[in-house]
Amino acid sequence: MKRSNTFEVVPQSDADEELLRRLLDASAALWNEINYERCENYVDPDGDVWDIGEYRGRYGGVLGASTVQQIGRKNREAWRSFFALKKKGAANGKPGFWGNAENGRDLRTYIRNTSYSIEWGEYSRLEILVGSDLKEEYGLGRQERLRLEIRGTPNWNEYDKQGRLELYYDETAQTFRAFQPVTIDNSRLARPLASEEAALDIGANNLVACTTTTGQQYLYEGRNLFERFRETTRRIAELQSKLRAGRYSSKQIRSLYRRRTRRRDHARDALSRNLIERLYDEGVSTVYVGDLTDVLETSWSMRTNAKTHNFWAFRAFINRLACTAEEFGITVEVRSEAWTSQECPNCGSTDRTTRHRDTLTCPCGFDGHADLVASETFLRRHNDVVRPMARPVRLKWNDHSWSASPRVCSNEERTNPQVASVGSA
DSSP labels, 245-304: TT----HHHHHHHHHHHHHHHHHHHHHHHHHHHHHHHHTEEEEEEEE-HHHHHHT--HHH
So what's the pLDDT on residue 163? Answer: 94
Q: Which pLDDT belongs to residue 420?
A: 38
Q: pLDDT tier at 293 (50, 70, 90 boundaries)?
A: low
Pairwise CA distance, residues 215 & 422, whole Å:
9
Residue 107 in 3-state DSSP?
A: coil
User: Which one, of 24, 35, 98, lies nearest residue 59 by Cα?
Assistant: 24
**Residue 88: pLDDT band with limits 50, 70, 90:** confident
* Model pLDDT, residue 331: 93
Q: Return the pLDDT at 155.
A: 80
The 10s digit of each residue's pLDDT in 197-208 is 999 998 767 889
89 vs 16, residue with greater confidence: 16
Cβ-proximal residues to 334 (8 Å cutoff; 6+ apart), any chain = 288, 289, 290, 291, 318
pLDDT value for 409: 55
Mean pLDDT of 296-301: 45
**Cα-based distances in Å from 84 to 58, 77, 81, 91, 138:** 31, 11, 5, 8, 43
- Is the confidence at residue 418, as pLDDT, over 60? no
Rounded-to-integer distance, Cα 376 and Cα 389, Å: 9
CA atoms within 13 A on the CB side of 343: 16
pLDDT of residue 354: 82
**Residue 231 above 80 pLDDT?**
yes
Beta carbons within 8 Å of 173's beta carbon, 6+ residues apart:
none
> For 45-54, 279-288, 302-311, which range has the lowest pLDDT when averaged over its residues?
302-311
Alpha carbons 247 and 249: distance in angstroms, whole number: 6
Residue percentage of the chain with pLDDT more than 90: 48
Q: What is the mean pLDDT of the chain?
A: 85
pLDDT of residue 292: 65
**pLDDT per residue as tens digits for the range 42-86:** 999 999 999 999 999 999 999 999 999 999 999 999 999 999 988
* Residue 110 burial by Cβ neighbours in a 10 Å radius (0-12, 13-18, 19+): buried
- The answer, yes or no, to whether residue 192 has pLDDT greater than 90, is no
